[in-house]
């Protein structure tokens, strides 16, 4: 059994980014991502919200490969911790965390987004070639997910969808 842990961080409002996203806009975007992940992450084609209560959403996410062909579905419990993070819990025990953090200047120009992943592979041996391939694949996936999410937030903000 192997647990794979990886994280990727990207600055949300780097120099020259437009529009500059406020923390409220980022939070509204993360709440939208819970319900419509397909607008943020290309490997998700659809989300079905099964239940909502307080700060929790139960959903089913439908995943596709790079060619758009369906690969699998995952039921997730999404728990929001305003205004900083959302955890996505999967039945396998895997958890994905989306975190918005402040930087050294404590201004909107210093916000960062980090996605942290904990994946479980019961049939993989630690240190094996398969383990190495999975690590590489997951960090590349993390990078894509963070970058595409920030770009989606920026498009939505520019269209007035996060005000």
130-161 tens-digit pLDDT: 999 999 999 998 999 999 999 999 999 999 99
Question: What pLDDT score was predicted for residue 107?
Answer: 79
Q: Can you tell me whether residue 11 is helix, strand or coil?
A: strand
Does position 45 have pLDDT exceeding 90, yes or no? yes
Question: What pLDDT score was predicted for residue 1?
Answer: 81
In a 10 Å sphere around its CB, with 0-12 CB exposed, 13-18 middle and 19+ buried, how is residue 84 labelled? middle
Closest Cα to residue 124, out of 109, 134, 115?
Answer: 134
Mean pLDDT of 45-62: 96
Global model pTM greater than 0.95 = no
Mean pLDDT of the chain: 93
Mean pLDDT of 47-68: 94
Query: In the chain, pLDDT over 70 holds for what percent of residues?
Result: 100
Domain boundaries, the chain: 2-158
Question: Which DSSP string do the residues of 113-138 spell out, in sequence order?
Answer: EEEEEEEEETT--TTSHHHHHHHHHH
In a 10 Å sphere around its CB, with 0-12 CB exposed, 13-18 middle and 19+ buried, how is residue 12 labelled? buried
Q: What are phi and psi of 115, to 5 degrees?
A: -110, 125
pLDDT band at 16 (very low <50, low <70, confident <90, very high): very high
Torsion, CA 39, CA 86, CA 22, CA 20, rounded to 10: -50
Mean pLDDT of 90-117: 92
pLDDT band at 90 (very low <50, low <70, confident <90, very high): very high
Question: What pLDDT score was predicted for residue 77?
Answer: 98
The fold of 2-158 is: Alpha-D-Glucose-1,6-Bisphosphate; Chain A, domain 4 (3.30.530)
What does the alpha-carbon distance between residue 140 and residue 137 come to, in Å, rounded to a whole number? 5
| 3-state helix, strand and coil shares in percent for the chain, rounded to the nearest 5 | 30, 40, 30
């Amino acid at each position: 059994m192997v647990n794979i842990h990886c994280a990727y961080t990207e600055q949300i409002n780097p120099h020259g980014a437009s529009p500059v996203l406020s923390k409220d806009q980022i939070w509204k975007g993360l709440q939208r991502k819970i319900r419509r992940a397909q607008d943020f992450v290309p490997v998700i084609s659809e989300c079905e919200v099964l239940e909502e209560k307080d700060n929790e959403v139960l959903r089913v996410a439908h995943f596709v490969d790079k060619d758009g062909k369906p690969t699998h579905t995952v039921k997730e419990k999404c728990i929001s911790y305003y205004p900083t993070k959302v955890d996505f819990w999967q039945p396998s025990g895997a958890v994905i965390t989306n975190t918005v953090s402040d930087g050294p200047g404590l201004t909107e120009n210093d916000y960062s987004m980090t996605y942290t992943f904990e994946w479980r592979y019961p049939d993989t041996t630690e240190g094996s070639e398969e383990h190495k391939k999975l690590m590489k694949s997951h960090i590349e996936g993390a990078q894509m997910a963070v970058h595409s999410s920030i770009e989606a937030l920026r498009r939505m903000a520019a269209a007035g969808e996060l005000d």
